[in-house]
Copies of this chain bind each other. A is one copy, B any other.
């Protein structure tokens, strides 16, 4: 096995003989370093895909990757994006998005191949490959697609010929006849910007004259500049391993990744086989035919069969990574990966928040805490920034946030239907108390009056985070009384960076947090709160603002407060989350707007329910509190308790401003 790894390694080294590419990668990062930029925590983040592969091959660390196709509908897109988030958490090295010529693939439509790939990169932080087919396309059209992909931050292209339209297709003069032409075109027009993947056919391309001739075509694609190969699916490990040996024999040295297709159902198998003109081996049909109407049984068999084949491939020592044809489903692939031990249940987070994979943002390592539950909105609203904060959040790191139209962004729409939202948030609100109940049910994960569980709120489209769960009892108590919490974090005084719940960053470090609490509450409550907060100077910093921008704070007007930071071996301090006064004003607009856009608009104009939400929007304050004394027990709950106590006190105590001790 050691020999095999070395062989792959050796291959790879000769493969990257075009040293311009290798030096380009590192040259790029040093060129872009400014006075304030130091190497990012996870060096991988700035590596290009072929470099990441090389490092994983060197370390013998197997990887997996996932293929998806673009959805047909907008709601399908919303679902696919959340599938990206879920499957991204297992740690794929990359995903790829197929090119659907019939689906306007290069357009700005929410369902286009281009937009889905862009979303995966920019908003889900996934290294992604965009497929591109070239037959029946002009060079100009193709160049346009590539330029757009580059503009959107895509770095990898799967160069394919695609299926010709009609039967009597002929080579076009000056156009693209084969994938190799596309590879050459990409290299000639975009130099080394893109990493290029090409397809390999373990049993030969169905249209090829012979298996040998097809191997030569593959070699031509690699010689033209392809960086690695992903194969068509196959049903026996031997098929792939023979193909791999044949490729190496004719001098193909780059990584060759087997395409794995876990059988998920009888129909989908038949359809795929028909399209790809593959033959299903008898040992498989023999098992499947008898159970063809039992979906669960077929899927179980598919998992079993895929796991066995994958084990054989990995044990050969010749396969550095596995590529999965998911058919946009997650259960079977995840199960195969789990059984193989490749699914990393709790992948180490490089930073407390999900990092975007757009190369423009590769040095970004500071964000305001406010968008913690809406990271896609933050990315969207800062997409036009030329520089991203690195190391610290300076005064002017927030030059301007994008317009507040982010809730029109399709993947920020709730995954729930209007009907489901009404069932969760109330068909009919009676008073502010009804709203308190919605928040309380969300926090406690208890069913509401009509037995419905509140799975999301306008500010949180997911159930409560594990970390926030630590605070559940306290959160329930205060939400019941109209302290409507939308963001919080506990204090942490130096937990290992490998801690499964709060850890992030490289191993061997220590992470810290200041306790944070953010909520909407009435102006009556705010009056009492302000009195109480005097007792907590300078321990607690606050910002209190209403929709009109009336702003009360005891914090420096320009100085951000670092609320999450990490100390790592041999590094400067990383402070990835800040409470900063300037961006809080941008967040305030968004947070208040969500009351109207996502909640009030569920109800009829002028209906009492809408008026209640409107009242809250118009009159409540958005409050954030930071407890600076991170080594001590979080005092923010005591602050709220003191506020309630003051509100409960006889009226004269409140009116003469005496704060009870």
| In the bound complex, CA of A414 to CA of B553 (Å) | 52
Q: Determine whether the beta carbon of B561 is less than 8 Å from that of A38.
A: no
Interface size on A, residues (CB 8 A): 46
For the complex, is A630 an interface residue (Cβ under 8 Å from B)? yes
Question: Hey, what's the 0/1 contact readout for A511-546 against B, CB within 8 Å counting as 1?
Answer: 010000000000000000000000000110100000
A288 to chain B, nearest CB (A): 51
A139 to chain B, nearest CB (A): 41
Q: Determine whether the beta carbon of B631 is less than 8 Å from that of A510.
A: yes
Interface hub of A37, A392, A562 (most chain B Cβ within 10 A) = A392
For the complex, is A274 an interface residue (Cβ under 8 Å from B)? no
For the complex, is A571 an interface residue (Cβ under 8 Å from B)? yes
Q: Determine whether the beta carbon of B393 is less than 8 Å from that of A572.
A: yes
Question: Hey, what's the 0/1 contact readout for A396-431 against B, CB within 8 Å counting as 1?
Answer: 110000000000000000000000000000000000
Question: Hey, what's the 0/1 contact readout for A219-243 against B, CB within 8 Å counting as 1?
Answer: 0000000000000000000000000
A534 to chain B, nearest CB (A): 15
| In the bound complex, CA of A625 to CA of B393 (Å) | 30
A151 to chain B, nearest CB (A): 24
> How many copies of this kind of chain does the complex include?
2
| In the bound complex, CA of A396 to CA of B35 (Å) | 5
Given A35-B394, A396-B35, verify A570-B565 contact (CB < 8 Å).
Answer: no
Q: Determine whether the beta carbon of B568 is less than 8 Å from that of A628.
A: yes
For the complex, is A578 an interface residue (Cβ under 8 Å from B)? yes
- Chain A, interface SS category: loop
For the complex, is A107 an interface residue (Cβ under 8 Å from B)? no
Q: Determine whether the beta carbon of B572 is less than 8 Å from that of A35.
A: no
| In the bound complex, CA of A430 to CA of B508 (Å) | 46
Q: Determine whether the beta carbon of B34 is less than 8 Å from that of A628.
A: no
| In the bound complex, CA of A221 to CA of B626 (Å) | 50
Given A394-B36, A494-B493, A508-B538, verify A570-B558 contact (CB < 8 Å).
Answer: no
Q: Determine whether the beta carbon of B559 is less than 8 Å from that of A39.
A: yes
For the complex, is A650 an interface residue (Cβ under 8 Å from B)? no
A158 to chain B, nearest CB (A): 34
Given A391-B391, A508-B628, verify A569-B36 contact (CB < 8 Å).
Answer: no
| In the bound complex, CA of A95 to CA of B475 (Å) | 56
Residue from the list B395, B494, B558, B573 in contact with A575, Cβ < 8 A:
B573
Task: Provide the residues of chain B in CB contact with A539, threshold 8 Å.
Answer: 508, 569
Task: Provide the residues of chain B in CB contact with A39, threshold 8 Å.
Answer: 556, 558-559
Extra contacts, 18 of them, besides A35-B36, A541-B570, A556-B571 (Cβ < 8 A), are A33-B395, A35-B394, A36-B391, A36-B392, A37-B394, A38-B394, A38-B395, A391-B392, A494-B494, A494-B631, A541-B569, A555-B570, A559-B571, A560-B571, A561-B570, A562-B571, A570-B628, A572-B575
In the complex, 6 of the A-B residue pairs with CB atoms within 8 angstroms, ordered by the A residue number, are A35-B394, A36-B394, A391-B391, A392-B392, A494-B494, A562-B572
